[in-house]
């Protein structure tokens, strides 16, 4: 087998930066999970954090494995081959991709638990894949079995993220769009660092580590920006879809150059699947069915009035014309304006609040004059009222 480009010095530096960012992302999402009050939100965010813990392990093992392939530096580029991979390389490579499937075990279990699925097929499937990778011969595991398992698990993971967005409030759904596209870019690096592709020919250097860093920054952004940043999520989907389809087009061209029919079909199938899911979601967003029904993820707690509505929140709502509750952009045919304080609400939030406390969050003006007003009470106030009830005489 001819020598191929394995990596450049700059690739290793960029992957090192990506590894650090991956660990920071895990820490940020653990912190975000700690601040969540809704149990479903807390569980799913924590599961995403664990994905990033295992991604960090994957990157470390995958990078270390490259140093155990025979070859030599020519300038800043290391060239080698896969003729006689060392035992250390084979187990580091196996360990890296075991970490990939381990990353999704807890996530899939949490996802299926939230959706009340009694049989957890996806996490059991990941466990079975890990067992097979461990015990199958290296070439069979890496060159035959891994590409199929990677494609199936990857497609199911993307499907779960789309499903979660449909069942989440506007703010959470928009943030998930960043997570999906970020993970798609990250998966490109993991695929191109796999023995399946690296042994076929010169791997394009720099571009995939850069895409990995870009994807990681996208994923960490929901933990950094304020909720208002995600209010116009339909624009993000148009932008991300164009970027991703462009990246996948480059990917397909590379597969054609390598003349790998199986990989071309896999990439094409994944692209079609993503495009269909994305079109369905965009239509869903346009219909403004985001808030869903009682029990959906993120919906139970959305109408709970915060302890204090700050002047800054009210000012941003009026200035940017976004709903004070869901932080979504209000349109001419989807707006309720408080007659007393001119605070913006979308129709769905105003209707929901009129059935709950029936009072504006800012000035407590009723949404519906024909209904009673039920002032919001903090849990502490309720506890005090209960404790002050006269005790029955024995």
Mean pLDDT of 341-370: 83
Does an H or E element contain 201, and which?
none
For residues 259 and 94, the model is more confident at 94
At 328, give phi and psi (nearest 5°): -90, 155
Mean pLDDT of 54-66: 90
**Both tokens assigned to 352:** 């929901």
The predicted structure's pLDDT at residue 44: 83
Q: Distance (Å, rounded) from C-alpha 109 to C-alpha 345? A: 36
Q: Is 78 helix (H, G, I), strand (E, B) or coil?
A: strand
Mean pLDDT of 86-97: 90
The predicted structure's pLDDT at residue 285: 64
- For CA atoms 385, 350, 281, 293, the dihedral sign is positive
The predicted structure's pLDDT at residue 130: 94
Mean pLDDT of 68-92: 84
**What tens digit of pLDDT does each residue of 198-236 get?**
776 656 667 778 888 888 888 888 777 765 566 556 677
**What tens digit of pLDDT does each residue of 232-288 get?**
566 776 777 777 777 777 777 777 776 767 777 777 777 787 777 777 776 766 665
Give me the percent of the chain exceeding a pLDDT of 90.
11
The predicted structure's pLDDT at residue 379: 39
At 33, give phi and psi (nearest 5°): -65, -35
Q: Is the pLDDT of residue 170 over 60?
A: no
The predicted structure's pLDDT at residue 295: 35
Answer for the pair 343, 361: CB distance below 8 angstroms, yes or no: yes
Residue that the structure tokens 């360990």 belong to: 95
Regarding whether 217 and 357 lie in a shared domain, the answer is no
User: Is 92 a domain residue?
Assistant: yes
For residues 225 and 1, the model is more confident at 225
Mean pLDDT of 43-57: 89
Distance of CA 96 to the CA centre of its chain: 21
Q: Is the pLDDT of residue 160 over 80?
A: yes
Q: What ranges in 287-374 are assigned the alpha helix state H? A: 311-320, 347-354
Regarding whether 220 and 128 lie in a shared domain, the answer is yes
Of 219, 251, 286, the residue at which a domain comes to its end is 286
In the 8-state DSSP scheme, what is residue 223?
Answer: G
Regarding whether 229 and 318 lie in a shared domain, the answer is no
The predicted structure's pLDDT at residue 102: 92
Regarding whether 324 and 230 lie in a shared domain, the answer is no
User: Is 335 a domain residue?
Assistant: yes
Beta strands in 28-174 (DSSP E): 71-74, 77-80
Q: Distance (Å, rounded) from C-alpha 163 to C-alpha 281? A: 9
Regarding whether 273 and 360 lie in a shared domain, the answer is no
The predicted structure's pLDDT at residue 21: 92
Pairing outcome for strands 336-337 and 344-345: antiparallel
User: Is 121 a domain residue?
Assistant: yes
For residues 132 and 208, the model is more confident at 132
User: Is 350 a domain residue?
Assistant: yes
Does an H or E element contain 8, and which?
strand 4-8
Mean pLDDT of 368-394: 52
Domain of residue 11: give its range: 4-286
Q: Distance (Å, rounded) from C-alpha 202 to C-alpha 217? A: 27
Among 59-63, 148-152, 291-295, the minimum mean pLDDT is found in 291-295
- For CA atoms 238, 170, 121, 94, the dihedral sign is positive
Regarding whether 268 and 179 lie in a shared domain, the answer is yes
The predicted structure's pLDDT at residue 388: 43
Regarding whether 135 and 67 lie in a shared domain, the answer is yes
User: Is 316 a domain residue?
Assistant: yes
Among 107-116, 189-198, 374-383, the minimum mean pLDDT is found in 374-383
Domain count, the chain: 2
Q: Distance (Å, rounded) from C-alpha 162 to C-alpha 168? A: 10
Q: Is the pLDDT of residue 16 over 80?
A: yes
Q: Is the pLDDT of residue 340 over 70?
A: yes
Q: Is 270 helix (H, G, I), strand (E, B) or coil?
A: helix
Torsion on CA atoms 225, 378, 295, 37, rounded to nearest 10: 40
The predicted structure's pLDDT at residue 108: 92
**Both tokens assigned to 310:** 């700050």
The predicted structure's pLDDT at residue 299: 36
The predicted structure's pLDDT at residue 383: 41
Query: CB count, 10 Å around CB of 125?
Result: 18
**What tens digit of pLDDT does each residue of 184-193 get?**
778 777 777 7
Mean pLDDT of 137-141: 87
Regarding whether 144 and 84 lie in a shared domain, the answer is yes
User: Is 201 a domain residue?
Assistant: yes
Of 237, 253, 286, the residue at which a domain comes to its end is 286
Residue that the structure tokens 């392939």 belong to: 69
Regarding whether 360 and 234 lie in a shared domain, the answer is no
Q: Which CATH number covers residue 279?
A: 1.20.1070
Where residue 17 falls among pLDDT bands split at 50, 70, 90?
Answer: very high
The predicted structure's pLDDT at residue 180: 77
Q: Is the pLDDT of residue 124 over 90?
A: yes
Q: Which CATH number covers residue 318?
A: 3.30.40
Q: Is the pLDDT of residue 131 over 90?
A: yes
- Angle between helix axes 170-192 and 39-66 (nearest 10 degrees) is 20
Q: Per DSSP, what are the bridge partners of residue 71?
A: 80
Q: Per DSSP, what are the bridge partners of residue 238?
A: none
Torsion on CA atoms 80, 82, 88, 94, rounded to nearest 10: 120
**What tens digit of pLDDT does each residue of 356-374 get?**
778 888 888 888 888 877 6
Q: Is 163 helix (H, G, I), strand (E, B) or coil?
A: helix
Q: Distance (Å, rounded) from C-alpha 180 to C-alpha 168? A: 15
Regarding whether 323 and 276 lie in a shared domain, the answer is no
Answer for the pair 290, 328: CB distance below 8 angstroms, yes or no: yes
Regarding whether 360 and 230 lie in a shared domain, the answer is no
Answer for the pair 203, 190: CB distance below 8 angstroms, yes or no: no
Mean pLDDT of 1-11: 76
The predicted structure's pLDDT at residue 305: 58
Answer for the pair 46, 28: CB distance below 8 angstroms, yes or no: no
The predicted structure's pLDDT at residue 296: 43
The predicted structure's pLDDT at residue 9: 86
Residue that the structure tokens 């989907």 belong to: 237
Regarding whether 211 and 64 lie in a shared domain, the answer is yes
**What tens digit of pLDDT does each residue of 37-49 get?**
777 778 888 888 9
Q: Is the pLDDT of residue 54 over 90?
A: yes
What is the C-alpha radius of gyration for the chain, rounded to an integer number of angstroms?
A: 25
């Amino acid at each position: 087998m001819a020598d191929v480009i394995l990596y450049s010095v700059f690739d290793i530096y960029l992957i090192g930066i990506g590894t650090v960012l991956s660990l920071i992302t895990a820490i940020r999402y653990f912190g975000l999970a700690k601040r969540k009050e809704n149990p479903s939100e807390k569980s799913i965010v924590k599961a995403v954090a664990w994905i990033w813990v295992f991604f960090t392990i994957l990157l470390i093992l995958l990078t270390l494995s490259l140093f155990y392939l025979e070859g030599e530096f020519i300038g800043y580029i290391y060239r080698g081959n896969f003729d006689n991979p060392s035992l250390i390389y084979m187990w580091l490579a196996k360990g890296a991709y075991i970490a990939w499937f381990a990353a999704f075990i807890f996530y899939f279990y949490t996802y299926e638990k939230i959706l009340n699925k009694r049989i957890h097929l996806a996490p059991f499937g990941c466990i079975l894949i890990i067992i097979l990778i461990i015990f199958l011969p290296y070439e069979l595991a890496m060159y035959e079995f891994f590409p199929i398992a990677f494609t199936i698990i990857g497609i199911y993971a993307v499907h779960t993220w789309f499903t979660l967005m449909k069942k989440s409030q506007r703010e959470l759904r928009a943030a998930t769009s960043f997570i999906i596209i970020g993970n798609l870019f990250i998966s490109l690096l993991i695929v191109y660092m796999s023995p399946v592709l690296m042994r076929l020919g010169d791997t394009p250097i720099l571009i995939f580590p850069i895409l990995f860093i870009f994807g990681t920054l996208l994923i960490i952004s929901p933990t950094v920006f304020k909720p208002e940043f995600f209010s116009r999520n339909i624009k993000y989907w148009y932008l991300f879809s164009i970027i991703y389809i462009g990246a996948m087009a480059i990917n397909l061209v590379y597969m054609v150059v390598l003349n790998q029919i199986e990989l071309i079909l896999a990439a094409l199938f994944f692209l079609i699947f993503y495009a269909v899911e994305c079109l369905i979601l965009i239509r869903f967003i346009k219909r403004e069915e985001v808030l869903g029904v009682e029990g959906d993820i993120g919906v139970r707690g959305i109408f709970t009035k915060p302890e204090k509505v700050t002047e800054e929140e009210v000012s941003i709502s009026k200035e940017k014309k976004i709903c004070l509750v869901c932080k979504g952009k209000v349109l001419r045919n989807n707006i309720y304006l408080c007659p007393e304080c001119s605070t913006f609400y979308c129709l769905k939030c105003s209707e929901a609040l009129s059935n709950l406390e029936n009072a504006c969050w800012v000035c407590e003006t009723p949404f519906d004059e024909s209904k009673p007003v039920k002032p919001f009470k903090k849990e502490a106030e309720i506890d005090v009222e209960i404790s002050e009830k006269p005790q029955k005489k024995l």
